[in-house]
Amino acid sequence: MGKLEGRTAIVTGAGRGLGKQIAIKYAEEGANLAICARSLDRLAETERLCREAGAEVLSFVCDVTKIDQMEAFVAATAEKFGGIDILYNNAMATTCGHKHFEDHTQEDFDMFYQSGLMSSFHMMRLCFPWLKKSGHGKVICVGSGAGVEGQFGMTAYGAIKEATRAMARTAAREWGKYNINVNTINPGAITDFYYEQLEKMPEGERDPMKLGFNPTIIGRIGDAYEDIAPVAVFLASEDSRHITGQTIMAEGGVTMIP
């Protein structure tokens, strides 16, 4: 029996990258999946792989900057599966690249604010009644070492990721009495997007550091499926029932929080 057997998990932004790998791993651990992206085409492979792992899957078109679409997604999930046990807040716009502080724009902040912080807030708010009813609700948000460390060139991205982390801690404090655990993963890993970028580089020059990754102290860059998804399973399972309001730095030691 998988660690998530019989649970229903929502994973936003599951069409590719980290969200896709989390959804697949959740399916392999017995969860049923509600996955969303801005088009069904993006979700086709994720849905197929989750079904092959034995999961029931709801694929839903949802732009997480639109409240009405998030409302419809959560309602459809609860109707299909009879409830919601796990929310993995993955969706967020891609970064605007590395920019000096003074070169950032209002548009950069607005993009991350709406697609990252506010989408996580609304998904948490909408799922709350179902997580409460579940009796063992789990929420996982996604942070970044870019915010914790104040990494060069990541002003807007890092600021929004830190705001998301702060919001998760407040929710953990308020929702603990309902047996809802809220934690944050700060992941450092190669996803399919980055593998594609590496493939475009000349042979012999395929260095993840050129894509903005920081050197790890364990000598290798993490993989989304092998290194991050198991942490996401742990935080979604009863193994983590005594952990809430925490940030798990799954980065190979790049960032260490004292």
How far is residue 145's CA from residue 241's CA, in Å, rounded to a whole number?
A: 25
Structural contact between residues 37 and 62, judged by C-beta atoms closer than 8 angstroms: yes
> Which amino acid, residue 46?
T
Virtual CA dihedral for 134, 136, 137, 142, nearest 10 degrees?
A: -160
SS3 assignment, position 247? strand
From the list 113, 157, 178, 225, the catalytic residue is 157
**Residue 178 annotated in active site:** no
DSSP 8-state class, residue 213: P
Residue showing tokens 């996580």: 120
Can you say whether the dihedral through the CA atoms of 69, 74, 76, 77 is positive or negative? positive
Q: Which of the residues are catalytic?
A: 157
